[in-house]
Amino acid sequence: MKPRQRNRYRNSLGLSTITAILIVVASLALVGLGIVVSKNRVRAIGEEQRKVEAEMRLLNAEILALNNRIETMLTRDRVQPRLTSSGTLLRPITKHGILFLKPLPAQPAKAAAPAVDPSVAQIMPQAP
């Protein structure tokens, strides 16, 4: 009787080679997944920024409209009747109601050095 032939391991790739290939493929897959997640996050942030910018444009237009309304509400023609109707004692300024003051005359220069009493001791020496 012949000895039975055993099936030999015929795969030329070893366990370490297969492990290295799996690690490289897994690393590449994780890098690809990271890139996709990063791009999706950037796109979402861009959309949010566009929404905020659109809201800012609307708010700026509203602020401008309100400033224009305030400016028209504070014109003299609108304020004067409201002040009169509320009973304030404000009156329009006339040319006769303005008081003009003359400028003050220039003050004379002060004496250079006051006279020193010789009977009092001096702390600082006098300049010649």
Helices 15-73, 76-85: axis angle to 10 degrees equals 70
Give me the number of domains the chain comprises: 1
Q: What is each CA distance from 3 to 7, 8, 115, in whole angstroms?
A: 13, 14, 141
For residue 19, give its domain range.
Answer: 15-83
Give Cα separations from 60 to 46, 50, 51, 73, 105 (angstroms). Answer: 21, 15, 14, 20, 53
Contact 88, 82 (CB under 8 A): no
Whether pLDDT at 92 is above 60: yes
Residue 29 lies inside a defined structural domain of this protein: yes
The answer to whether residue 71 sits within a structural domain is: yes
List, for residues 22-38, the tens digit of each pLDDT value.
999 999 999 999 999 99
- Within a domain: 77: yes
Residue-wise pLDDT tens digits, 47-67: 999 999 999 999 999 999 999
Has residue 40 been placed in a domain? yes
